[in-house]
């Protein structure tokens, strides 16, 4: 609620870290993609994408429908194996071919539908599939205490009780629970697909605050969004996709709304293509 996005032009709310730190070499990035392509038969969905995701910063992935954003996050989260190209995790080359590979690295994806069970309470959802048990019996107290701790750390204070059913929560609270679940499993990169698409104004502000807190904890966040106001309010870096290629990426301060819109729609900025001229 405090920092309502009043962004016009290129002003951007303070980044939790020194913005200069993003102009660093690939080896200091948490995750770097180099020349990643993905084709489905004859359709080339991704063409030689180079993307850098630094820890502790929010990277916004923007682009029109069909630009390849969803394909890209599915490649990063291991749902699609890339046709070619390399992944570097903290500078080391890694293979991400299955969701389990991605999970093992510490990549968590929060999908638009959040994958929560409405009939279970917050604690049960947080630990779903990863329950703490002692001699085969669920250790409810330990799970509840951990849930409370994680929610407190993320300052998710709007829920009354951690034993509330998730079905009774608001959209923003549900989003918060889904994010908290990803954080609780020690994820280092949290990917969020359209986190604010279904939310009202105050709920959106809540979620944007949460995203900033994740970055402040040193977690890398990759956000897909259609809402440029949200993007400029929360992102440290932008990556713009157009027709399967990454046409531009860099610090958010290098963009304003009109240049972002132009990149999204034409893949070029002000006539002169920017591809390759961005800081890496």
| Residues making contact with another protein (CB under 8 A) | 1-2, 111, 113-120, 124, 128-131, 133, 136-138, 141, 144-145, 148, 155, 157-158, 160-161, 164-165, 167-168, 202, 206, 209
Nearest CB to another protein, comparing residues 161 and 258: 161
The CB-of-143 to another protein minimum distance in angstroms stands at: 10
Closest to another protein by CB, 24 vs 115, is: 115
Element housing 214 (H / E): helix 201-216
Q: How many CB atoms lie under 10 A from the CB of residue 115?
A: 12
User: How far is 236 from 14, CA to CA, in rounded Å?
Assistant: 9
Enter the tokens of residue 55: 């820890």
Ordered alpha helix ranges (H), 69-200: 69-76, 99-105, 122-126, 140-153, 171-184
Considering the complex, what minimum distance in angstroms separates the CB of residue 221 from another protein?
17
Query: Measured from the CB atom, is 59 or 206 closer to another protein?
Result: 206
Q: In this complex, which beta carbon is closest to another protein, that of residue 50 or of residue 124?
A: 124
DSSP helix/strand/coil, 197? coil
CB atoms within 10 A of CB 183: 21
At closest approach, how far in Å is the CB of 129 from another protein?
Answer: 3
């Amino acid at each position: 609620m405090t920092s309502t996005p009043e962004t016009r032009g290129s002003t951007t709310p303070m980044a939790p870290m020194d913005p200069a730190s993003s102009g660093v070499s690939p080896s200091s990035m948490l995750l770097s993609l180099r020349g990643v392509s993905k084709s489905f038969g004859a359709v080339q969905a991704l063409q030689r994408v180079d993307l850098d995701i630094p820890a502790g910063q929010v990277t916004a992935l923007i682009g029109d429908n069909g630009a390849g954003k969803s394909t890209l996050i599915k490649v990063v989260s291991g749902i699609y194996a890339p046709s070619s190209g390399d992944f570097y995790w903290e500078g080391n080359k890694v293979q991400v071919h299955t969701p389990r590979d991605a999970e093992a690295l510490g990549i968590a994806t929060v999908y638009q539908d959040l994958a929560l069970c409405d009939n279970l309470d917050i604690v049960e959802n947080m630990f779903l599939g990863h329950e703490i048990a002692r001699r085969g019996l669920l250790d409810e107290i330990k799970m509840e205490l951990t849930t409370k701790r994680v929610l407190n750390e993320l300052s998710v204070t709007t829920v009354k009780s951690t034993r509330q059913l998730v079905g009774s929560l608001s959209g923003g609270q549900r989003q918060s629970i889904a994010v908290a679940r990803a954080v609780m499993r020690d994820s280092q990169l949290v990917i969020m697909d359209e986190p604010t698409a279904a939310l009202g104004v105050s709920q959106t502000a809540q979620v944007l605050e949460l995203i900033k807190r994740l970055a402040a904890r040193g977690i890398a966040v990759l956000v897909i969004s259609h809402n440029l106001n949200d993007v400029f309010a929360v992102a440290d870096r932008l990556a713009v996709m157009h027709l399967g290629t990454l046409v531009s990426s860099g610090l958010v301060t290098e963009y304003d709304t009109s240049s972002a819109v132009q990149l999204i729609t034409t893949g070029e900025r002000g006539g002169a293509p920017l591809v390759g001229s961005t800081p890496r």
